[in-house]
Protein backbone atom coordinates (compact mmCIF):
# COMPACT_ATOMS: atom_id res chain seq x y z
CA UNK A 1 0.00 0.00 0.00
CA UNK A 2 1.35 3.49 -0.83
CA UNK A 3 2.13 5.81 2.04
CA UNK A 4 -0.52 8.51 2.64
CA UNK A 5 0.52 11.96 1.49
CA UNK A 6 -0.11 15.05 3.65
CA UNK A 7 -2.48 17.78 2.51
CA UNK A 8 -0.45 20.62 0.88
CA UNK A 9 -0.04 23.62 3.14
CA UNK A 10 0.44 27.12 1.61
CA UNK A 11 3.98 28.38 1.92
CA UNK A 12 3.72 31.45 4.15
CA UNK A 13 7.00 32.79 2.83
CA UNK A 14 5.67 32.60 -0.74
CA UNK A 15 2.48 34.47 0.14
CA UNK A 16 4.44 37.21 1.91
CA UNK A 17 6.74 37.62 -1.08
CA UNK A 18 3.80 37.76 -3.49
CA UNK A 19 2.05 40.31 -1.26
CA UNK A 20 5.15 42.53 -1.10
CA UNK A 21 5.47 42.33 -4.89
CA UNK A 22 1.77 43.08 -5.37
CA UNK A 23 1.94 46.10 -3.09
CA UNK A 24 5.02 47.40 -4.95
CA UNK A 25 3.12 47.10 -8.24
CA UNK A 26 0.19 48.93 -6.68
CA UNK A 27 2.46 51.74 -5.47
CA UNK A 28 3.88 52.11 -9.00
CA UNK A 29 0.43 52.31 -10.51
CA UNK A 30 0.67 49.01 -12.40
CA UNK A 31 -2.94 48.14 -11.72
CA UNK A 32 -3.39 45.09 -13.96
CA UNK A 33 -0.24 43.34 -12.75
CA UNK A 34 -1.03 44.27 -9.15
CA UNK A 35 -4.48 42.72 -9.47
CA UNK A 36 -2.99 39.48 -10.79
CA UNK A 37 -0.39 39.32 -8.04
CA UNK A 38 -2.95 39.99 -5.30
CA UNK A 39 -5.07 37.20 -6.79
CA UNK A 40 -2.13 34.83 -6.30
CA UNK A 41 -1.90 35.91 -2.65
CA UNK A 42 -5.64 35.35 -2.19
CA UNK A 43 -5.36 31.86 -3.66
CA UNK A 44 -2.57 31.09 -1.20
CA UNK A 45 -4.14 32.85 1.79
CA UNK A 46 -7.92 33.22 1.20
CA UNK A 47 -8.45 34.68 4.70
CA UNK A 48 -5.85 37.43 4.31
CA UNK A 49 -8.01 40.58 4.46
CA UNK A 50 -5.29 42.96 3.31
CA UNK A 51 -4.82 40.98 0.11
CA UNK A 52 -8.51 41.41 -0.72
CA UNK A 53 -8.23 45.12 0.09
CA UNK A 54 -5.14 45.42 -2.11
CA UNK A 55 -6.81 43.74 -5.07
CA UNK A 56 -9.81 45.99 -4.56
CA UNK A 57 -7.56 49.05 -4.83
CA UNK A 58 -6.02 47.72 -8.04
CA UNK A 59 -9.45 47.03 -9.52
CA UNK A 60 -10.81 50.42 -8.49
CA UNK A 61 -7.88 52.22 -10.08
CA UNK A 62 -8.27 50.35 -13.37
CA UNK A 63 -11.96 51.21 -13.51
CA UNK A 64 -13.62 48.04 -12.16
CA UNK A 65 -15.81 49.59 -9.48
CA UNK A 66 -18.07 46.57 -9.01
CA UNK A 67 -15.15 44.16 -8.69
CA UNK A 68 -13.44 46.50 -6.25
CA UNK A 69 -16.57 46.76 -4.11
CA UNK A 70 -16.82 42.97 -3.86
CA UNK A 71 -13.18 42.76 -2.76
CA UNK A 72 -13.58 45.48 -0.12
CA UNK A 73 -16.71 43.72 1.17
CA UNK A 74 -14.69 40.53 1.60
CA UNK A 75 -11.82 42.36 3.31
CA UNK A 76 -14.24 43.91 5.82
CA UNK A 77 -15.98 40.56 6.36
CA UNK A 78 -12.62 39.00 7.24
CA UNK A 79 -11.33 41.94 9.29
CA UNK A 80 -14.15 44.25 10.44
CA UNK A 81 -11.72 46.73 12.03
CA UNK A 82 -9.59 47.25 8.89
CA UNK A 83 -9.97 51.02 8.61
CA UNK A 84 -8.42 51.42 5.15
CA UNK A 85 -10.90 48.95 3.67
CA UNK A 86 -13.79 51.22 4.72
CA UNK A 87 -12.04 54.23 3.19
CA UNK A 88 -11.43 52.34 -0.03
CA UNK A 89 -14.99 51.01 -0.10
CA UNK A 90 -16.22 54.57 0.34
CA UNK A 91 -14.33 55.49 -2.84
CA UNK A 92 -15.81 52.52 -4.70
CA UNK A 93 -19.31 53.40 -3.56
CA UNK A 94 -18.78 57.01 -4.63
CA UNK A 95 -17.78 55.81 -8.11
CA UNK A 96 -20.88 53.60 -8.20
CA UNK A 97 -23.12 56.56 -7.19
CA UNK A 98 -23.97 55.07 -3.78
CA UNK A 99 -23.73 58.38 -1.92
CA UNK A 100 -25.27 57.15 1.34
CA UNK A 101 -22.99 54.13 1.43
CA UNK A 102 -19.95 56.25 0.60
CA UNK A 103 -20.78 58.69 3.39
CA UNK A 104 -21.37 55.92 5.95
CA UNK A 105 -18.12 54.14 5.06
CA UNK A 106 -16.19 57.40 5.22
CA UNK A 107 -17.37 58.14 8.75
CA UNK A 108 -16.61 54.56 9.82
CA UNK A 109 -13.10 54.82 8.35
CA UNK A 110 -12.45 58.11 10.17
CA UNK A 111 -13.68 56.63 13.44
CA UNK A 112 -11.26 53.70 13.08
CA UNK A 113 -8.34 55.76 11.76
CA UNK A 114 -8.65 59.58 11.74
CA UNK A 115 -5.22 59.92 10.08
CA UNK A 116 -6.27 58.43 6.72
CA UNK A 117 -7.00 61.26 4.21
CA UNK A 118 -9.07 59.18 1.79
CA UNK A 119 -12.41 59.28 3.62
CA UNK A 120 -12.11 63.06 4.08
CA UNK A 121 -11.62 63.40 0.32
CA UNK A 122 -14.71 61.29 -0.38
CA UNK A 123 -16.74 63.43 2.02
CA UNK A 124 -15.35 66.54 0.35
CA UNK A 125 -16.38 65.32 -3.08
CA UNK A 126 -19.84 64.40 -1.83
CA UNK A 127 -20.28 67.86 -0.31
CA UNK A 128 -18.97 69.55 -3.45
CA UNK A 129 -21.43 67.59 -5.59
CA UNK A 130 -24.22 68.81 -3.30
CA UNK A 131 -23.07 72.43 -3.62
CA UNK A 132 -22.01 72.63 0.03
CA UNK A 133 -18.86 74.66 -0.52
CA UNK A 134 -18.11 75.45 3.14
CA UNK A 135 -18.56 71.82 4.19
CA UNK A 136 -16.49 70.56 1.26
CA UNK A 137 -13.72 73.02 2.08
CA UNK A 138 -13.54 71.73 5.64
CA UNK A 139 -13.26 68.11 4.49
CA UNK A 140 -10.52 68.86 1.97
CA UNK A 141 -8.68 70.94 4.58
CA UNK A 142 -8.92 68.00 6.98
CA UNK A 143 -7.41 65.70 4.35
CA UNK A 144 -4.43 68.03 3.99
CA UNK A 145 -4.16 68.39 7.76
CA UNK A 146 -3.83 64.65 8.36
CA UNK A 147 -1.59 63.95 5.35
CA UNK A 148 0.48 67.08 4.60
CA UNK A 149 3.17 65.06 2.83
CA UNK A 150 0.92 63.43 0.19
CA UNK A 151 0.74 65.07 -3.20
CA UNK A 152 -2.56 63.49 -4.21
CA UNK A 153 -4.28 65.17 -1.25
CA UNK A 154 -3.25 68.64 -2.44
CA UNK A 155 -4.29 67.65 -5.96
CA UNK A 156 -7.83 66.88 -4.83
CA UNK A 157 -8.10 70.13 -2.90
CA UNK A 158 -6.64 72.02 -5.85
CA UNK A 159 -9.22 70.51 -8.20
CA UNK A 160 -11.98 71.56 -5.82
CA UNK A 161 -10.61 75.11 -5.54
CA UNK A 162 -10.37 75.31 -9.31
CA UNK A 163 -14.00 74.24 -9.63
CA UNK A 164 -15.17 77.06 -7.32
CA UNK A 165 -12.93 79.56 -9.18
CA UNK A 166 -10.42 80.09 -6.38
CA UNK A 167 -7.66 80.05 -8.99
CA UNK A 168 -4.79 81.42 -6.93
CA UNK A 169 -5.39 78.91 -4.15
CA UNK A 170 -5.84 76.15 -6.70
CA UNK A 171 -2.49 77.00 -8.31
CA UNK A 172 -0.81 76.87 -4.92
CA UNK A 173 -2.26 73.44 -4.14
CA UNK A 174 -1.48 72.00 -7.57
CA UNK A 175 2.10 73.27 -7.35
CA UNK A 176 2.55 71.49 -4.01
CA UNK A 177 0.96 68.35 -5.48
CA UNK A 178 3.47 68.35 -8.32
CA UNK A 179 6.36 68.96 -5.93
CA UNK A 180 5.34 66.02 -3.72
CA UNK A 181 4.14 63.70 -6.51
CA UNK A 182 5.99 64.67 -9.72
CA UNK A 183 4.76 61.58 -11.57
CA UNK A 184 1.08 62.61 -11.24
CA UNK A 185 0.30 63.54 -14.86
CA UNK A 186 -3.19 64.87 -14.10
CA UNK A 187 -1.79 67.48 -11.70
CA UNK A 188 0.20 69.12 -14.50
CA UNK A 189 -2.86 69.17 -16.74
CA UNK A 190 -5.03 70.66 -14.00
CA UNK A 191 -2.47 73.35 -13.23
CA UNK A 192 -2.36 74.25 -16.93
CA UNK A 193 -6.15 74.50 -17.03
CA UNK A 194 -6.10 76.73 -13.99
CA UNK A 195 -3.53 79.05 -15.58
CA UNK A 196 -5.67 79.29 -18.71
CA UNK A 197 -9.01 79.81 -16.97
CA UNK A 198 -7.53 82.38 -14.57
CA UNK A 199 -6.73 84.51 -17.61
CA UNK A 200 -2.93 84.25 -17.62
CA UNK A 201 -0.90 84.25 -20.80
CA UNK A 202 -1.63 80.81 -22.34
CA UNK A 203 2.06 80.31 -23.11
CA UNK A 204 2.66 79.95 -19.37
CA UNK A 205 0.55 76.78 -19.43
CA UNK A 206 2.47 75.10 -22.25
CA UNK A 207 5.25 73.50 -20.12
CA UNK A 208 2.67 71.88 -17.86
CA UNK A 209 0.60 70.61 -20.77
CA UNK A 210 3.68 69.11 -22.44
CA UNK A 211 4.74 67.50 -19.16
CA UNK A 212 1.26 66.06 -18.63
CA UNK A 213 1.23 64.57 -22.13
CA UNK A 214 4.63 62.94 -21.73
CA UNK A 215 3.93 61.55 -18.28
CA UNK A 216 0.54 60.22 -19.38
CA UNK A 217 2.34 57.90 -21.83
CA UNK A 218 4.19 56.18 -18.98
CA UNK A 219 2.57 53.19 -17.30
CA UNK A 220 -0.07 53.32 -16.03
CA UNK A 221 -0.95 55.04 -19.31
CA UNK A 222 -3.59 57.73 -18.92
CA UNK A 223 -5.14 58.09 -22.34
CA UNK A 224 -7.62 60.69 -21.10
CA UNK A 225 -4.86 63.04 -19.94
CA UNK A 226 -2.88 62.39 -23.12
CA UNK A 227 -5.87 63.26 -25.32
CA UNK A 228 -6.82 66.36 -23.33
CA UNK A 229 -3.23 67.57 -23.34
CA UNK A 230 -3.10 67.41 -27.11
CA UNK A 231 -6.31 69.43 -27.34
CA UNK A 232 -4.96 72.11 -24.99
CA UNK A 233 -1.69 72.35 -26.92
CA UNK A 234 -3.65 72.98 -30.12
CA UNK A 235 -5.66 75.69 -28.37
CA UNK A 236 -2.50 77.40 -27.10
CA UNK A 237 -0.88 77.26 -30.54
CA UNK A 238 -4.01 78.73 -32.16
CA UNK A 239 -4.04 81.56 -29.59
CA UNK A 240 -0.40 82.38 -30.35
CA UNK A 241 -1.12 82.45 -34.10
CA UNK A 242 -4.05 84.80 -33.62
CA UNK A 243 -1.86 87.28 -31.74
CA UNK A 244 0.44 87.62 -34.75
CA UNK A 245 3.40 89.99 -34.57
CA UNK A 246 1.86 91.92 -31.66
CA UNK A 247 2.45 89.06 -29.22
CA UNK A 248 4.31 90.53 -26.21
CA UNK A 249 7.22 88.72 -24.56
CA UNK A 250 6.40 86.45 -21.65
CA UNK A 251 6.54 88.13 -18.22
CA UNK A 252 9.88 87.72 -16.50
CA UNK A 253 8.14 86.50 -13.37
CA UNK A 254 5.60 83.79 -14.01
CA UNK A 255 2.01 84.47 -12.99
CA UNK A 256 2.73 88.09 -12.00
CA UNK A 257 -0.18 90.52 -12.49
CA UNK A 258 1.16 91.52 -15.90
CA UNK A 259 0.69 87.96 -17.10
CA UNK A 260 -3.07 88.39 -17.02
CA UNK A 261 -4.17 88.91 -20.62
CA UNK A 262 -7.85 88.01 -20.59
CA UNK A 263 -10.87 87.89 -18.28
CA UNK A 264 -11.53 84.67 -16.43
CA UNK A 265 -13.19 81.95 -18.46
CA UNK A 266 -15.95 79.74 -17.04
CA UNK A 267 -14.35 76.78 -15.26
CA UNK A 268 -15.12 73.18 -16.04
CA UNK A 269 -17.55 71.25 -13.90
CA UNK A 270 -16.44 70.14 -10.48
CA UNK A 271 -14.43 66.88 -10.52
Assess if residue 253 is contained within a domain: no
Q: Is residue 58 part of a domain?
A: yes
Domain range spanning residue 18? Answer: 12-80
Q: Which residues contact 113 (CB under 8 A, 6 or more apart)?
A: 83, 84, 87
At 48-104, the pLDDT tens digits run 999 999 999 999 999 999 999 999 999 999 999 999 999 999 999 999 999 999 999
Specify the number of domains making up the chain. 1
Asked whether the CA dihedral 176, 232, 156, 79 is positive or negative, the reply is negative
How does pLDDT run across 213-251, given as a tens digit for each residue? 999 888 667 888 999 999 999 999 999 999 888 888 876
CATH of the domain at 37: 1.25.40.10
Q: Is residue 56 part of a domain?
A: yes
Q: Which residues contact 262 (CB under 8 A, 6 or more apart)?
A: 199
Residue 41 lies in a domain: yes
What whole-number distance in Å separates Cα of residue 169 and Cα of residue 265? 17
Output the average pLDDT for the chain. 88
Given phi > 0 = left and psi -120 to 50 = alpha, else beta, which region is 184? beta
- In this structure, is residue 49 part of a structural domain? yes
pTM, to two decimals: 0.85
The answer to the question of residue 46 being in a domain is yes
Q: Would 71 be classed as within a structural domain?
A: yes
- Whether residue 66 lies inside any domain: the answer is yes
Amino acid sequence: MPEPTPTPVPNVTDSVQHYAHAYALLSRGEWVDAERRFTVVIELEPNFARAWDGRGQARLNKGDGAGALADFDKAIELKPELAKAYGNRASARYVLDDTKGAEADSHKAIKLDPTDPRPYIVLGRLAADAGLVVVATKHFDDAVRVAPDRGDVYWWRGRFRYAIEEYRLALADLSVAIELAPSLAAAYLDRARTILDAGFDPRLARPDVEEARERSKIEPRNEGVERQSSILLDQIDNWVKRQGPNLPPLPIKELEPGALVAPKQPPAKAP
